[in-house]
Amino acid sequence: MERPDVLDRGEAARLIPVTSDSNREARAASIFLATLMSVPPFAREVLSTVEQRVGARTKIRCFTEIRFKNDDNVNSRPDGLIAIDSGQGRSWTCLVEAKIGNAELSAEQVEAYLQIARANDVDAVLTISNQFVALPTHSPVKVSRTLLRNVQLYHWSWIYLKTAASLLLSADELESAEQKYILSEFHRYFDHDSVGVNRFDRMNSEWKEIVGQVIAKATLNRSSVIVENTVGAWHQEARDLCLLLTEKVRHPVKLRLSRAHANDPNERLRDDCERLASDCELACALEVPDAAAPMIVCANLRGRSISVSMELDAPKDKQRPLSRLNWLLRQLSKARPDDIYIRCNWPGRAPSTQNSLADVRNRPEILFASHENAAPVSFEVLLVRDIASKFSGARTFIEQLEEAVPYFYAEVGEHLRTYIPPPPRLQTAKDEAEAREPFVNKQDAPVILGPVQNVGEMTRPLPSTEEDPNPL
């Protein structure tokens, strides 16, 4: 395989590496890069997230043990290089740095690779580790913005790559038996415990401390290290929740981010730190394909509780509040009522009303007691778990959260549908006649009791008496 001109040395990535067993990162990088070359559907899936289109004529070359011609720093060697030729003179190159197990990326190392990439006209740097980010365009480490002017920085987690392979295998969209075998072996390798691919299984080391501060009603500083580390850990867990649900529903689940947060992870960090400091809450929104609404996941540090919710607009063409509520309750007919609540949102500034699903099933009118002359504009279905002492445990908090989110989706989320009004009915001759003469039917005509003073003007009726021989 022909090496790019900038390389002085580089071996074609091997599916069966010959590097030492102790160098787990080099082995993992080689297996991944070899799979990327061998399975085009896999390459199309993952490279599309870093803005690279893989077509029928695209050629992908991957190398390990690389050394650049003008690089004398033996202590700064990336784990690999991806070279993509798309035809018509278009090409893209990317350095690859991999970490495995509990090893984490450092800002100094990533910045060094960005400098190497810029010095050798390499387009991007890709990092892979067990750390999680909201989008591949975000990075788990902060680097100088000046280094990103001419070089793109991307990041994947190993769990993401394993999940992408799992989805392709389950969809049975691979082009040959050989591709299926290679990708299944890739998945089987990274699924083994000894390889070192880990889920995000615990919050940051300061988690118990910050929960204790909130319970003691201490004031949190939004720019403190403890707050930033907690929000950073929450962001990783939010991404891991997406991958966890992706594996369970066999469709890609994504984080719902505003455009500002998608473009600038630092702004997302600042805004979520502000929310944690002011409201003592951590929250994220998960988008499941074709679901009725995003799932809002919230951790309340004051109440030491976890909530998962979805909100649906109420049917606007149903006038009676009970009709609107029954539309929702029919969708929840099979849901177990444990810890599930219904919240009604009312027009204007009227406060919301909330009751347990069990109580609402028995007495639906309980939600409308204080809103007799209004109809709800939307409904929220919530799962609320008060986990008390388990909340402050860095590991037990994640365990409870990763149990609650799939549970809510199975009991509620997959059954909810947005309301679609029925189509207009074709008008008949009878309908048109009734429209012209509103009181065609006798039962629709107004009833007048007692004699009137002036029948032609239909004025106020006089009270009837027993002596009246012809009461109207």
Per-residue pLDDT tens digits for 24-58? 999 999 999 999 999 999 999 999 999 898 888 89
Which 3-state string (H, E, C) describes 123-162? CEEEEEECCCCCCCCCCCCCCCHHHHCCCEEEEEEHHHHH
Query: 333 — alpha (psi -120 to 50), left (phi > 0) or beta?
Result: alpha
Length of the chain: 472
Cβ–Cβ < 8 Å for 182, 169: no
Which amino acid, 53?
R
Section 319-348 average pLDDT? 94
Residue 437, pLDDT score: 67
**CB under 8 Å to 58, separation ≥6 — which residues?**
40, 84, 85, 86, 87
Residue 175, pLDDT score: 81
Task: Pull the structure tokens for residue 266.
Answer: 């630092």
Confidence of residue 370 (pLDDT cuts 50, 70, 90): confident
Residue 74, pLDDT score: 58
- Report percent pLDDT > 70 for the chain: 90
Cβ–Cβ < 8 Å for 298, 282: yes
* Distance (Å, whole) CA 321 – CA 368: 8
Which of 277, 281, 302, 305 is closest to 390 using CA atoms? Answer: 305
* Distance (Å, whole) CA 150 – CA 152: 7
The pLDDT tens digits for 395-447 are 999 999 999 999 999 999 999 999 988 888 887 877 677 766 655 444 444 44
Section 260-279 average pLDDT? 95
In the block, residue with structure tokens 């290089």: 81
3-state secondary structure at position 357? helix
Indicate if the pLDDT at residue 127 is higher than 70. Answer: yes
Task: Pull the structure tokens for residue 23.
Answer: 């160098």
In a 13 Å sphere around the CA of 49, the CA atoms on its Cβ side amount to: 20
Instruction: List Cα–Cα distances, 433 to 132, 161, 400, 414, 447, in angstroms.
Output: 66, 66, 63, 45, 21
Q: What does residue 356 show for φ and ψ, rounded to 5 degrees?
A: -70, 155
Task: Give the dihedral sign, CA 111/19/157/209.
Answer: negative
Residue 73, pLDDT score: 63
Compute how many other C-beta atoms are within 10 angstroms of the C-beta atom of residue 451: 15
The pLDDT tens digits for 212-239 are 999 999 999 999 999 999 999 999 999 9
* Distance (Å, whole) CA 349 – CA 432: 41
Task: Pull the structure tokens for residue 169.
Answer: 């295998």
